[in-house]
Amino acid sequence: MTKVAKSNSAAADAASYLAADAFFRANLPTALTFDDVSLATLYSDILPRDADTSTALSDALKLQIPIVSSDMDTVTESRMAIAMALNGGLGLIHYNMGAKDQVKEVARVKRHIHGLIQDPITVAPNQQIGDVLAMIEQRKFAFSTFPVVDDAGALVGLLSGNVVKERYKSKSVRDVMTPRASLTTEKHRAVANDPIKAADQFFTRHVGLNKMLVVDDAGKLRGLVTESDVVRITAEAKANRKPARDADFRLVVGAALSPVRKPDGSLDRQRVLEHVEHLLAEHVDAIAVSTAHGHTKSVGEVVKLVRGAHRHVTLIAGNVTSAEGVAYLADCGADAIKVGQGPGSICTTRIVAGVGIPQLTALHVAASGNRGRKVRIIADGGITKSGDIVKALTLADAVILGGLLAGCREAPGEIMEIGGKFYKQYRGMGSLAAMKAGSAARYGHDKADRTRKVAAEGIEALKEVSGYVDDVLANLLGGVQSGMGYLGAANLTQLRAKARFIRVSPAGQKEAAPHDVVEVSTRASTA
């Protein structure tokens, strides 16, 4: 009788909660996105903390977490990419900057030594304290102590926050700084192998100091380590999740590629390849050919060009929403393919152009083009919470986040205060401002074309500052692991195999969120 009962209950579940193929087929021609569906729970002996979130974007590029920061100019530059890699993910550095600048951003990530700030903010001895105060205000720095360097980059002193005050605004930095002769420093060669261990010993030896200034043999400033960073990183070393590193122990990083064209519209093959070679010289781990419409001759042309010249670099291409698009880019040589057209919070492609597919259906259809192939699928756009990531990972190998990271302190852009709250600029790469800065080719336009109006496919907005990447990712990954625990999935492969879907009504969507209560805010006061 027990066997019969168990069989009946299993049959009831199987009839109600459907695997991906059956579920999405049953709901055609309606297209569904994250809030339209929910996942059914299964028997589990997996504790959320034990769930393995590691993934891969190619045979060569392994990640500890399935999260990539978007190649948007208000999301990912070197600081974001470093934070992503330290948390086990990947940052894609945008291309809305000069080619040389992008190479420098990649170099900053690859040369990052954990705990050593290699490009600390400095001031010059001939500046006035008033200039320093203005810089702090403009850039919203939370610190006021700065190394002082001359034009050659040599350390000449330290400007203490104790003298960076309004009453001293007319004084020069040289007059109030602690001179080089009075500073205790450390040589770069002594810290290069293990800066945290060296800094820990330094602060133990020198009671009362909270900054270790690092110089080379010529006296040039090579970086600094703060005591607070030593404490934080020492704690991080005990964590289960490890940074994403290459074979030489460098942090991993990706870079988006701009398809540079000649005046006649043809691909400037030489400039593209030269730029890729410069990126590879700095050991970039992934190249992303990112456009709004990836199922095109031009994108395929760039992917084939790069793949033909460099067989082993990880190539990401997109964006598509069809099985044919995935198959096309895979045949061109892509290792991973971005899926998503118009789901982003600041994207207006579906409104302006009338195209695009709700994201979960798009992921399922696109994944169908991957059967029998080794390419990876990346869900790009539409994710607003950790539950969305869980649902996306039932159909994809990784997700790309833009809006959820744009408010982090590591994102590019200045912090501004409005009504007592702090915000950062966030704009779609299809916004007019972004296209003028360099992303027009992403949408099939020429930024230099002044003869006609370009149709924007994105908006400019503000995101409330949400803290640091470490904290945001910790919350998101906690939710992902919780979802894996509910499905009894020890890893992402099992998550995809075990996922069973049910469609949710508008009433069910309301039921899923807090309701019929007055929510008590737990946000700390900023007063």
pLDDT tens figures, 484-505:
999 999 999 999 999 999 999 9
User: Which of 174, 201, 226 is the C-terminal boundary of a domain?
Assistant: 226
Residues 263, 396 share a domain: yes
Peptide bond into 370 cis (omega under 30): no
Residue 147 has pLDDT above 80, yes or no: yes
Q: Is residue 347 annotated as a catalytic residue, yes or no?
A: yes
Residue from 64, 46, 39 nearest 54 by CA: 64
Residue 275 has pLDDT above 90, yes or no: yes
Residues 74, 201 share a domain: no
User: Across all residues in the chain, what is the average pLDDT?
Assistant: 87
Average pLDDT over residues 428-448: 50
pLDDT digits (tens, 9 = 90+) for 288-341: 998 989 999 999 999 999 999 999 999 999 899 999 999 999 999 999 999 999
Residues 251, 389 share a domain: yes
CA distances from 103 to 94, 276, 285, 336, 417 (A): 11, 9, 12, 22, 32
Which residue in 79, 409, 442, 500 is the catalytic one? 442
Residues 252, 191 share a domain: no
**Per-residue confidence (pLDDT) for residue 390, from 0 to 100:** 98
Which residue in 79, 347, 408, 409 is the catalytic one? 347
pLDDT digits (tens, 9 = 90+) for 83-131: 999 999 999 999 999 999 999 999 999 988 767 777 788 999 999 999 9
The answer as to whether 135 is a domain residue is yes
> Is the model's pTM score more than 0.85?
no
Residues 166, 52 share a domain: no
What CATH number corresponds to the domain at position 178? 3.10.580.10
User: Which of 195, 226, 257 is the C-terminal boundary of a domain?
Assistant: 226
Residue 459 has pLDDT above 60, yes or no: no
Is residue 27 within 8 A of residue 505, CB to CB? The reply is: no
Residue 235 has pLDDT above 70, yes or no: no
Average pLDDT over residues 187-211: 87
Instruction: Tell me the residue range of the domain where 175 lies.
Output: 129-226
**Per-residue confidence (pLDDT) for residue 511, from 0 to 100:** 87
Amino acid in the structure at residue 243:
P
What CATH number corresponds to the domain at position 291? 3.20.20.70
Q: Which of 278-282, 453-457, 495-499 has the lowest mean pLDDT?
A: 453-457
Q: How many helices (H) and strands (E) does the chain have?
A: 20, 21
pLDDT digits (tens, 9 = 90+) for 59-87: 999 999 999 999 998 999 999 999 999 99
pLDDT digits (tens, 9 = 90+) for 2-60: 566 567 888 888 889 999 999 999 999 999 999 999 999 999 999 999 999 999 999 99
| Total tally of structural domains belonging to the chain | 2
Residue 137 has pLDDT above 60, yes or no: yes
Residues 261, 140 share a domain: no
**Per-residue confidence (pLDDT) for residue 453, from 0 to 100:** 45
Residues 161, 299 share a domain: no
Residues 89, 181 share a domain: no
Tokens of residue 437, six digits: 């800065």
Residues 428, 401 share a domain: yes
